[in-house]
Amino acid sequence: MLWKNSNTRYGSISIVLHWLMALVFIGVYACIELREFYPKGSDPREALKTWHFMLGLSILLLVTIRLYFKVTSPTPSISPEPKQWQTISAELAHLALYALMIGMPLLGWFLLSAAGKPIPFYGLELPVLVAKNKDLASSLKELHETIGVLGYYLIGLHAIAALFHHYVLKDNTLTRILPRN
């Protein structure tokens, strides 16, 4: 398999990054949802929150690598070529996904900073981005949670669109990003 993208398929680096990020997203959402099953302040709840923070920041790191490959490699063409409105819709959806992958980890980092909490990252403690501010932390938390809910819909729409392209339109949108057999 080719490492870099070609005009017809995503390369192995793009494929691995895409599916790795999907798994990390599952982990981010699972950690924050599963924490609700444990009492506030309990060790399992705090561990899940810490993993939520670290996995969220991992998305920021992975999307940086992904963006490098996006700008240095061609985007494989879709065959048969989609209608213009579909192309525009896909570009807007991808822009929203990239905004989610960059904005949410940064928002979480600002939130932890404003709350005066440590910013854990696999044994490291990342620097504080803003001074402790309870009101700012509260506003950022509300925004982070709202965008998090919107993220469920955006990711779901992305998956449904890929399946629609594959099973209804019968184009190569999905197969371009699947690992080869």
Per-residue pLDDT of the chain (181 residues; tens, 9 = 90+): 588 899 999 999 999 999 999 999 999 999 999 999 999 999 999 999 999 999 999 999 999 999 999 999 999 999 999 999 999 999 999 999 999 999 999 999 999 999 999 999 999 999 999 999 999 999 999 999 999 999 999 999 999 999 999 999 999 999 999 998 5
**To 10 degrees, the CA torsion angle through 75, 76, 79, 82?**
-10
- Two tokens, residue 123: 């044994």
**To 10 degrees, the CA torsion angle through 30, 178, 165, 70?**
80
What angle (nearest 5°) sits at the alpha carbon of residue 116, between those of residues 111 and 118? 85
Sequence-ordered list of residues with C-beta below 8 angstroms from that of 91, at least 6 positions apart, any chain: none
Name the one residue in this structure whose structure tokens are 């209608």: 83
